Structure 1
């Protein structure tokens, strides 16, 4: 029961989810008195939501590893144990991301063949979603970790977001094969020696021009890219909103001076455009990001998540559990080829020496 707006937003989000999804059952893990108060305030009388008591929480400023080790009865640990023991099919958490990752790795463990788990986030950059992995779980990644991220994120893109034959790009400072630090160069070589649909190095700006369907990077870099993209999108939206409002006001003033009749068509078009743009950049639309590679389904939501985001995160968790993407991850990693396909795919990366 974590997050900046918990427990109210989490409870309201759970209520929204069970109302919209027939047969869904949700367990709310946390302070029982607080959760029951929120359920009572919402006049909830159904049986599709139950409360699982947990006496501790992990604060946003706490050390994730230390908190997980010392707070055995934290809501994230109790929830993960419910998943581990088969009482729940997935966990959704809007609390401390580091604690969610650490507790998941400790209690669920990683899947067979998986070296390190990673967080795969969806960036709405066009017609198709862009999957960026990792965005914070593994800040000191190795080349083999990034190769596996490419495999796992590709499966996530195809099975959950219906992206056909997803292409993978390696986030780098330049497109040339020789660009980047040691991690980037070694990772590039690994991708070139695999049968992954690899598009080569991708510069950050190209992520928003459809250069690839999946972009992989270490968690430190990915987290910076994600937060920069979120902050920039929010700022540009406000600038556009302010500018559009000013134009509408100037047009209205011009009509008043000219004695013409007031026309709301321009204002209506502007409002519609703003609503569409706002929906595109709204993080609540996706709900959360899966922690891929652990032996269970874990969805990590934004700390600011409101009811809409929590509800969508629950929907995503339910879908991933039904699809059973984890079994496909294990199978694909086991059969990951160490040799490139003869001739490669059309449009694949040029892996020849520069």
Structure 2
């Protein structure tokens, strides 16, 4: 977006005529912008490093001839071109590295190059294990396997039956607020909203799982847990894309959790990923109950040594022992 030509590429793609309903036209315009920006990026930034090296050599030659020729204007032009190419290369490494602490002005130190290259090697996928246990190394087959996996993972479940979720959401929006929210928005408001976003982020929708759990706790179908005696009940914790649900280890509350998750799936169209869902039982839960609930939910059981965001998922009274490895890694 730092390049002035970027706006022109977007405008040219956006003004093209497309047919269909408004939603289809919007999607088509966005796809056209993506295609043209990708082509423009390849032609404008694909050879930055070689072009920068070439300009630097010309600049060095111009500086060497400065004493014998009056080429001040050429020298000034070359310096400007080299600087512009360095800024573009810096932005390119910024996007590749994807770190917020890389600010404009760092201008490509070897440190950022090594960090970006290291990140690329770490994220490179050379082979995958199929569901049948077979190792796939062919690049095309790896792509097909990825496409098949995520296609199944993100396939919509045809959202329906929204009433149970909506009934559990307390009305907060007044008629005056509705009138304000539904009025026609201006280009200035869109610009302000976009500039408030991070450069490599995109907004996403909020869902009604919280309302369903809160409603279940209110009618007593889910009990939750207390952190201390006489303390408030905790039924769930949400963090980014992860959710923690707390309930008693019995068939009644287990069925209640399944029921509210099914309602959520029907209403949102999002399917619960059982491969990433785990159970944890307190130490006083007998094995028969554990097996029954595990079979009912169809998910794996987590153990004490599991970690979340590189931290212990569960901490007992031995807190020093649980977190001692952090100090060891620092020192």
Query: What is the TM-score normalised by the length of structure 1?
Result: 0.22
Structure with bigger strand share is 1
The higher-RCO structure (CA 8 Å, 6+ apart) is 1
Structure with bigger helix share is 2
